[in-house]
Amino acid sequence: MEEGKAKSSHVLVLPYPIQGHINPLLQFADGLASKGVKASLVVPLRIHGDILHKVDTSSLATIPLEYISDGYDDGVPLTFDPGAYDISLQRVGSQTLGELIARLAVDGLQPVCLIYDSILQWALDIAHAHGILGVAFLTQSYAVSSMCSLYHRCALVAQAEPDACFSLPGMPPLSLQDLPKFIAQPKADRFLLDLLLGQFKNIDKADYVLLNSFDCLETGVIEGMAEPWSPKMIGPALPSLYLDSRNTRATKTGDEQGKLVNCLGWVDERPDGSVVYVSFGSLAALTVEQMEEIGGALRSIKWPFLWVVRPPYAYEQGRNSLPDGFLDATSEQGLVVPWCPQLEVLAHRAIGCFVSHCGWNSTLEAISQGVPMVAVPQWSDQPTNAKFISDVWKMGIRVEVDEKEVVRSGELERCIREVMDGETGAELRENGQRWKKLARAAVADGGSSDNNIKEFVAMVSRC
Ligand code: UDP
């Protein structure tokens, strides 16, 4: 590829405006920039302060931001309604996205392509209306994407019996509790079901399809399901720093980053492999009962813990609250933070296990750092990711939940013990190291994902 040619191609990258979608699309944009493509990230004005300060700042230094509106420029209301938000995002977002593309053309920065989060399927029409390529980017695994696509073609569950077993090519036998929650319980989460199935409405019209996973992680599923929209796997889309064999700490500045570094300072003081890292991502909001049980488990283990407890939004009242007296009782043993630089934490020598909700980014991040997991899936695609973590990649164990779908403290404690110093733990760590090498090989020069990215860059540079 000619360097100069790629540089003249301007590419817009449009994530769904939540953390777990911004992170991989920003990292992909950063990867394109490192290959000479001019990539800009398009976000709603509203999220500038709220979400962007939590992403890897080194990537933001190289990727310019462009803004659209989601109709909520002054912030989301206390009574947040995701359905109403989505309608507004589509209506106002598509109008302002069209205006942005037109303005960029006038300014001599005409984009040749719009890489849009596949959840924002309406963006494809905007790209095509402006005569540019529309590239769908899927932020979930190939397996989950296939399940959604299959459901969309009306072939998966409808009213399944509770003990039903699903057999899909290339996948382990799946029970109802292994399917994405919005598929297993469609009535309980109609909004998410519509949003995720919507990705496949027009995917056959996309000019290119990218997916944040890597070939050898999902070989069986790729061969078994052989999706007609044949995505190119480009992951794991993470800052290259964490895929490099030398894991040095990123330099951060500013007050906000200062707090995060303090949390790393605390981790620095712990022995190798001794810390239990607990995080449920950027969206899950746990009930009081579940928080009590997690608190109970952490109090009773002998290892230090780092627990990320995301402060609840106003509309999540009562959720994610720490058990009474927890901080005082555990101040010697653990640290609770509202947010941490997760990749840096996972890459740290002191981390022994990751108690995770199994969001797809967290899963890829744990795989890329070889950290064994205790899988505590909550909703969305997390049950399926948990199934693959435990039964396919054998990098973690999944907790059992009771009839109220709560994981009890004794069960969580048992799983943490098993991973930290049980027989299974040693095997999981070994597998983790294997996956870590494979993840790095995929994005290294000449690896499967790297080749797919190069092919994509060559295609863009011809536009
Ligand atoms: N994350 C982080 N610090 C935290 C918690 C989460 O940096 O304290 C990042 C994490 O590294 C991941 C993203 O937020 O990249 C969460 O995405 P994921 O798909 O795992 O879960 P979601 O938040 O979408 O449920």
10-254+445-458 maps to which CATH number? 3.40.50.2000
For residue 266, report the distance from its CA to the centre of ligand 1, in Å: 20
**Which residue type sits at 55?**
V
Secondary structure letter of residue 75 according to DSSP:
-
Secondary structure letter of residue 118 according to DSSP:
T
CA 262 to chain centre: 24
Do domains 10-254+445-458 and 259-438 share one topology? The answer is yes
Nearest to 327 by CA among 337, 313, 339, 341: 337
Please state which CATH class domain 259-438 belongs to: alpha beta
For ligand 1, is residue 360 a contact (CB within 6 Å)?
Answer: yes
Atom index in ligand 1 nearest the CA of residue 382 equals 25
At 116, is the secondary structure helix, strand, or coil? Answer: strand
Atom index in ligand 1 nearest the CA of residue 55 equals 7
For residue 43, report the distance from its CA to the centre of ligand 1, in Å: 18
Does residue 9 contact residue 118 with C-beta atoms inside 8 Å? no
For ligand 1, is residue 384 a contact (CB within 6 Å)?
Answer: no
Does residue 198 contact residue 121 with C-beta atoms inside 8 Å? yes
Q: Determine how many CB atoms are found less than 10 A away from the CB of residue 130.
A: 18
Q: What is the pTM of this model?
A: 0.94
| Gap between the Cα atoms of 302 and 318, Å rounded | 29
Buried b (16+ CB within 10 A) or exposed e, 422-443: eeebeebbebbeebbebbbbbb
pLDDT in tens, the chain (463 residues): 444 344 568 999 999 999 899 999 999 999 999 999 999 999 999 887 666 667 766 677 789 999 999 999 988 877 888 899 999 999 999 999 999 999 999 999 999 999 999 999 999 999 999 999 999 999 999 999 999 998 765 556 655 677 888 888 999 999 989 999 998 888 888 889 999 999 999 999 999 999 999 999 999 999 999 999 999 999 999 987 777 543 334 333 344 444 555 799 999 999 999 999 999 999 999 999 999 999 999 999 999 999 999 998 878 888 999 999 999 999 999 999 999 999 999 999 999 999 999 999 999 999 999 999 999 999 999 999 999 999 999 999 999 999 999 999 999 999 999 999 989 999 999 999 999 999 999 999 999 999 999 999 999 998 8
For ligand 1, is residue 361 a contact (CB within 6 Å)?
Answer: yes
HEC secondary structure over 383-395 = HHHHHHHHHHCCC
The residues spanned by each domain of the chain are 10-254+445-458, 259-438
For ligand 1, is residue 44 a contact (CB within 6 Å)?
Answer: no
Does residue 43 contact residue 16 with C-beta atoms inside 8 Å? no
Prediction ipTM score? 0.99
